[in-house]
Amino acid sequence: MNVLIIPEDFRNDQYLLQPLFQRLFAAIGKPSARIKVCNDPLLGGVQEALKPARLAEIFEQYEGMTDIFVLCVDRDGEIGRKQRLNQIEGEFGDPQTFLAENAWEELETWTLAGLDLPSNWTWQEVRAEVHVKERYFDKLANKRGVADALGGGRKLLGEEAARRIDTIRQKCPEDFGNLAKRLEAAA
């Protein structure tokens, strides 16, 4: 099974998404699934990732090589973002399996859900923050001494968080947990 994860911008997101989805597919009984993060084309932002023409370009490029396409973007405080993703899923659902999900509020939230957080942070505060990357993730990367590592610490922290995939599913039920259930049904 070949799975293509489509991020809004692969340059840093790949370091979070690759280990999370590799571990998720192993957890749902598909350990041999080949997970690829789309790095061609570079979408460069959520607005480009939500354009049907850009997605059609990706589907055409990877047609025949991909069993499941998964679009992952940040919510960024946009209340209607999930509805827009549902519309896009409806446009592209056939003939390929295509699922779209937004992280609540940024992809870094999924990683933070799988990590031990500083004792003065509450999960409710992290989950409610729109600017998770700046307010929490970057601070944790600095505190842990990995901010200068690949992806601003995303590679190391993403791999560490992925080991606790069940915790991420539980702490992020509306987005990552929901996507996990849908992928389990589709795989």
Could you report the per-residue pLDDT of 74-98, keeping only the tens digit for each?
999 999 999 999 999 988 866 669 9
Whether pLDDT at 177 is above 90:
yes
Q: What was the pLDDT predicted at 94?
A: 65
Q: What percent of the chain has pLDDT over 90?
A: 92
Q: What was the pLDDT predicted at 187?
A: 82
Can you list the pairs that 127-136 forms with residues at least 24 positions away whose Cβ atoms lie under 8 Å? Answer: 127/171, 127/172, 129/105, 130/76, 130/77, 130/105, 131/105, 131/106, 132/105, 132/106, 132/108, 133/106, 133/108, 136/108, 136/112
The arithmetic mean of pLDDT across residues 159-175, rounded, is 97
Q: What was the pLDDT predicted at 129?
A: 96
The arithmetic mean of pLDDT across residues 167-182, rounded, is 96
pTM of the predicted structure, to 2 decimals: 0.94
The arithmetic mean of pLDDT across residues 169-186, rounded, is 95
Whether pLDDT at 154 is above 70:
yes
Copy the structure tokens of residue 115.
């990590």
Domains in the chain and their CATH numbers? Answer: 2-186 (3.40.50)
Copy the structure tokens of residue 133.
């990357």
Instruction: Quick: pLDDT tens for 105-150.
Output: 999 999 999 999 999 999 999 999 999 999 999 999 999 999 999 9
State the number of CA atoms in the 13 A half-sphere of 170 facing the CB. 6
Q: Are 157 and 140 a contacting pair, CB within 8 Å? A: yes
Q: What is the mean pLDDT of the chain?
A: 95
The arithmetic mean of pLDDT across residues 50-67, rounded, is 94
Whether pLDDT at 16 is above 80:
yes
The identity of residue 28, as a single letter, is: I
